[in-house]
Structure formats: C-alpha cells, structure tokens
C-alpha cells in the first residue's frame, strides 16, 4: 500500500494534463478513497463568473473511483486500466456552484463490486472544506455539496471487449 497523501496522481489515472481534476489522495483502503481538489484560477471547468458548476462533480467523483482502482493496480504491480462511467442511480446537487479557490473533498465507497465482470457501484460525497487533507477531516465534516451513487465498468480485458463491440 502506498503512503498517503499521494500528490502525483498521473500514474494512477487514465487521464492527462488539465483533465486530472484531483490534487491529492488523502487516504484509501480496499473499498474507500478520500481525495481533495482545490479549484484554481486555471481550472478547466470554471464558468465566466469564476464559479465551478456542480455538474462537474460527477467527473470529480468518477476520477476518485478511477484513482482507487489505480491505487489497487499500483499495489498489485499492474498497469492502470481504462474504466467507463455508466451512469448514476442518484445525484443530489445541494448547491449549484462553488467559487474559485474552494477546497473540495471527495469520498467514494464501493457498495457493490464484481471483479470478474468489472462492474461496480460507488456511493460518493463531495464536500466543501476549510483545510487540506488531515486526520481531522472525517467524511462527516465539511459542507456537503453533492451526493451521488455512480455505476462504473472496467472490463477485465479491454481490447477483447472493444473488439466485441465493433463486430
């Protein structure tokens, strides 16, 4: 298991450059991950008023799920695999946007995971924080912004899966 916090996330995600929306992994375990992101002035999804719309939270949550898979792959000595966001059974947006400079924490917890098929369902919470990752920032702290339950899929053999989809 890697030491946390983890600040260099590109080896753990199938994303690159500005599309990596997470700044730091605070902690992870078998079925949970906690990460933070600070909304900087050059954030890819800021609107014309310097606000981050909360529809972006679904991508932030999906990246946290991907980061958990990336941590597990790293721990097992395997390459990071591509995954797909299938959809959501529930998204509850409690606030429409947050300002540039905001610090957000995302908590993801696997509620259902089938390694053989690559299918999973995760309970996710995005919160507004006052401080960075530390042990005092439990999941219950911070102002909740979005609650969601996301369904994801990461096929065990991506090449075979993609070939099947085209025939």
Radius of gyration of the chain from its Cα atoms, rounded to whole angstroms = 16
Q: What's the pLDDT band for 164 if we cut at 50, 70, 90?
A: confident
pLDDT of residue 135: 46
For domain 10-166, give the CATH number: 3.10.129.10
Burial class (CB in 10 A: 0-12, 13-18, 19+), 120: buried
pLDDT in tens, 123-160: 999 999 975 555 444 555 799 999 999 999 998 877 77
In whole angstroms, what is the distance from residue 54 CA to residue 45 CA? 10
In whole angstroms, what is the distance from residue 30 CA to residue 15 CA? 22
pLDDT of residue 139: 53
- 116 phi and psi angles, rounded to 5 deg: -65, -40
Mean pLDDT, range 80-98, rounded to an integer: 94
Domain locations in the chain as residue ranges? 10-166
pTM of model > 0.85:
yes
- Of 96, 84, 105, 98, whose CA–CA distance to 150 is shortest? 84
Tokens standing for 56? 């972006």
Beta-carbon contacts of 98 under 8 Å, excluding residues fewer than 6 positions away, are 39, 51, 52, 54, 104, 128, 145
In whole angstroms, what is the distance from residue 95 CA to residue 126 CA? 11
In whole angstroms, what is the distance from residue 157 CA to residue 147 CA? 31
pLDDT in tens, 98-129: 999 999 999 999 999 998 889 999 999 999 99
pLDDT in tens, 7-53: 999 999 988 889 999 999 999 999 999 999 999 999 999 999 999 99
Distances (CA, A) of 150 to 40, 109, 165: 26, 10, 23
pLDDT in tens, 50-75: 999 999 999 999 999 999 999 999 99
């Amino acid at each position: 298991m890697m030491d946390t916090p983890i600040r260099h996330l590109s080896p753990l995600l199938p994303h690159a450059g500005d599309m990596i929306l997470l700044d730091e992994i605070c902690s992870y375990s078998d079925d949970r991950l906690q990460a933070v992101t600070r909304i900087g002035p050059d954030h890819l999804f800021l609107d014309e008023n310097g606000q981050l719309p909360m529809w972006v939270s679904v991508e932030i949550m999906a990246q946290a799920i991907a980061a958990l898979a990336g941590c597990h792959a790293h721990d097992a000595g395997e390459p990071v695999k591509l995954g797909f966001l299938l959809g959501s059974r529930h998204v509850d947006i409690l606030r429409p946007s947050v300002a540039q400079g905001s610090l957000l924490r995302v908590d993801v917890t696997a509620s259902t995971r089938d390694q053989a098929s690559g299918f999973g369902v995760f309970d996710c919470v995005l919160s507004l924080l006052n401080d960075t990752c530390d042990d005092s920032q439990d999941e219950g702290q911070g102002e909740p912004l979005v609650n969601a339950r996301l369904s994801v899929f990461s096929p065990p053999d991506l090449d075979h899966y993609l070939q099947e989809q085209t025939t």
